[in-house]
Amino acid sequence: MDKNTGILLLYDCYQALLTEKQRQMMDLYYNQDFTLAEIAEEMTISRQGVYDHLKRTEKLLEQYEERMSLLKIFQRQSGIILQMKECLAKMEVEMSGVEAVKGSMTHIKRIKSSLEQLNQISTS
Protein backbone atom coordinates (compact mmCIF):
# COMPACT_ATOMS: atom_id res chain seq x y z
CA MET A 1 0.00 0.00 0.00
CA ASP A 2 1.43 3.38 -0.96
CA LYS A 3 1.75 6.27 1.49
CA ASN A 4 -1.21 8.24 0.10
CA THR A 5 -3.52 5.23 0.41
CA GLY A 6 -2.37 4.68 3.98
CA ILE A 7 -2.98 8.32 4.88
CA LEU A 8 -6.44 8.19 3.28
CA LEU A 9 -7.33 5.09 5.30
CA LEU A 10 -6.14 6.78 8.49
CA TYR A 11 -8.11 9.90 7.54
CA ASP A 12 -11.25 7.80 7.09
CA CYS A 13 -10.79 6.29 10.56
CA TYR A 14 -9.86 9.41 12.50
CA GLN A 15 -11.24 12.43 10.65
CA ALA A 16 -13.75 13.09 13.42
CA LEU A 17 -10.82 13.82 15.75
CA LEU A 18 -9.40 16.52 13.48
CA THR A 19 -10.25 20.21 13.47
CA GLU A 20 -12.40 21.60 10.68
CA LYS A 21 -9.34 23.24 9.09
CA GLN A 22 -7.38 19.97 9.20
CA ARG A 23 -10.30 18.06 7.65
CA GLN A 24 -10.74 20.67 4.94
CA MET A 25 -7.06 20.64 3.94
CA MET A 26 -6.85 16.84 3.98
CA ASP A 27 -10.01 16.59 1.89
CA LEU A 28 -8.82 19.12 -0.66
CA TYR A 29 -5.39 17.52 -0.99
CA TYR A 30 -6.16 13.79 -0.81
CA ASN A 31 -9.77 13.47 -1.98
CA GLN A 32 -10.15 16.36 -4.41
CA ASP A 33 -6.55 16.29 -5.67
CA PHE A 34 -5.89 20.01 -5.19
CA THR A 35 -2.28 21.17 -5.41
CA LEU A 36 -0.61 22.87 -2.48
CA ALA A 37 -0.84 26.19 -4.37
CA GLU A 38 -4.57 25.72 -4.99
CA ILE A 39 -5.20 24.94 -1.33
CA ALA A 40 -3.09 27.95 -0.29
CA GLU A 41 -5.19 30.21 -2.50
CA GLU A 42 -8.46 28.66 -1.28
CA MET A 43 -7.51 29.05 2.39
CA THR A 44 -5.54 32.28 2.02
CA ILE A 45 -2.31 30.97 3.53
CA SER A 46 1.12 30.29 2.05
CA ARG A 47 1.97 27.17 0.08
CA GLN A 48 4.57 26.32 2.74
CA GLY A 49 1.91 26.77 5.42
CA VAL A 50 -0.32 24.24 3.64
CA TYR A 51 2.57 21.80 3.32
CA ASP A 52 3.49 22.12 7.01
CA HIS A 53 -0.13 21.80 8.09
CA LEU A 54 -0.65 18.65 6.00
CA LYS A 55 2.53 17.03 7.36
CA ARG A 56 1.52 17.78 10.96
CA THR A 57 -1.94 16.37 10.34
CA GLU A 58 -0.49 13.20 8.74
CA LYS A 59 1.76 12.73 11.77
CA LEU A 60 -1.22 13.26 14.07
CA LEU A 61 -3.22 10.59 12.20
CA GLU A 62 -0.31 8.16 12.53
CA GLN A 63 -0.14 8.89 16.28
CA TYR A 64 -3.87 8.20 16.63
CA GLU A 65 -3.38 4.85 14.92
CA GLU A 66 -0.44 3.99 17.19
CA ARG A 67 -2.62 4.65 20.24
CA MET A 68 -5.99 3.29 19.12
CA SER A 69 -5.24 0.82 16.28
CA LEU A 70 -8.68 1.27 14.70
CA LEU A 71 -7.37 0.74 11.18
CA LYS A 72 -5.44 -2.36 12.21
CA ILE A 73 -8.52 -3.80 13.93
CA PHE A 74 -10.68 -3.02 10.90
CA GLN A 75 -8.22 -4.75 8.56
CA ARG A 76 -8.07 -7.84 10.79
CA GLN A 77 -11.86 -7.99 10.95
CA SER A 78 -12.10 -7.62 7.18
CA GLY A 79 -9.76 -10.60 6.71
CA ILE A 80 -11.83 -12.76 9.03
CA ILE A 81 -15.04 -11.74 7.29
CA LEU A 82 -13.50 -12.70 3.94
CA GLN A 83 -12.66 -16.15 5.36
CA MET A 84 -16.25 -16.53 6.51
CA LYS A 85 -17.58 -15.61 3.07
CA GLU A 86 -15.30 -18.18 1.45
CA CYS A 87 -16.52 -20.86 3.86
CA LEU A 88 -20.14 -20.02 3.13
CA ALA A 89 -19.52 -20.21 -0.60
CA LYS A 90 -18.00 -23.68 -0.16
CA MET A 91 -20.94 -24.75 1.96
CA GLU A 92 -23.37 -23.71 -0.76
CA VAL A 93 -21.55 -25.87 -3.29
CA GLU A 94 -21.33 -28.84 -0.94
CA MET A 95 -24.97 -28.63 0.10
CA SER A 96 -26.05 -29.29 -3.44
CA GLY A 97 -24.71 -32.89 -3.12
CA VAL A 98 -25.95 -35.91 -1.20
CA GLU A 99 -23.11 -35.81 1.33
CA ALA A 100 -23.68 -32.11 1.86
CA VAL A 101 -24.28 -32.12 5.59
CA LYS A 102 -21.08 -33.98 6.50
CA GLY A 103 -18.80 -31.71 4.45
CA SER A 104 -20.57 -28.56 5.55
CA MET A 105 -20.00 -29.28 9.23
CA THR A 106 -16.28 -28.53 8.80
CA HIS A 107 -17.10 -25.15 7.29
CA ILE A 108 -19.64 -24.40 10.00
CA LYS A 109 -16.96 -25.02 12.64
CA ARG A 110 -14.58 -22.66 10.80
CA ILE A 111 -17.25 -19.95 10.69
CA LYS A 112 -17.88 -20.36 14.42
CA SER A 113 -14.16 -20.02 15.06
CA SER A 114 -14.01 -16.91 12.85
CA LEU A 115 -16.91 -15.36 14.73
CA GLU A 116 -15.12 -16.00 18.02
CA GLN A 117 -12.02 -14.29 16.62
CA LEU A 118 -14.11 -11.27 15.61
CA ASN A 119 -15.56 -11.15 19.10
CA GLN A 120 -12.09 -11.26 20.68
CA ILE A 121 -10.86 -8.45 18.43
CA SER A 122 -13.87 -6.31 19.29
CA THR A 123 -13.42 -6.76 23.01
CA SER A 124 -9.64 -6.35 23.21
By the 8 A CB rule, do 107 and 83 touch? Answer: no
pLDDT, tens only, 65-91: 999 999 999 888 888 888 888 888 887
State the amino acid at position 18 in one-letter form: L
Mean of the pLDDT values across residues 46-68?
Answer: 97
Average pLDDT along the chain: 88
> For position 100, what pLDDT does the model report?
60
The pTM for the full model equals: 0.73
Q: Which pLDDT does position 123 carry in this prediction?
A: 64
- The residues near 56 (Cβ < 8 Å, ≥ 6 apart) are none
| Mean per-residue pLDDT, 109-122 | 80
Listed in sequence order, the DSSP H helices in 15-69 are 20-26, 36-43, 47-68
Whether pLDDT at 49 is above 70: yes
Percent of all residues in the chain with a pLDDT value above 90, rounded to a whole number:
55
